[in-house]
Amino acid sequence: MDAELDRWNEIIYFLQGTCDSLDRALHIHDSEDLIDHMPFLEYLDQHIFLCDDCGWWCEISEQSDEGRCYDCCSDEYE
């Protein structure tokens, strides 16, 4: 399990702060088998999210109630 978790974390680290697609990240990490693997997808959702507005992968701590990153939300208040 440790090797599998390491692979999952590598994919998350690769995506974080980018607008790359999950498909591309899985391809680069030779992990296309994870695209429908629910334990991986649930783990991914616990660590990062794809902002609905800007399309960037952000840390889960940066997610607003609306499913957007705080940077996108701050634009509303400027």
Partners of 13 in the beta sheet? none
Q: What is the pLDDT of residues 44-67, one digit of tens each?
A: 999 999 998 999 999 999 998 888
User: Alpha-carbon distance 56 to 9, whole Å?
Assistant: 17
Task: Considering only residues 71 and 24, tell me which one the structure prediction assigns the higher pLDDT.
Answer: 24
**Of 73 and 9, which is predicted with more confidence?**
9
Q: What is the mean pLDDT of residues 22-50?
A: 97
pLDDT surpasses 90 at 77: no
Q: Tell me which H or E stretch contains 59.
A: strand 57-59
All residues at 6 or more sequence positions from 8 whose CB lies less than 8 Å from its CB, including other chains: 34, 40, 43, 44
Q: Tell me the per-residue pLDDT of 4-19, one tens digit each, with 9 for 90 and over.
A: 999 999 999 999 999 9
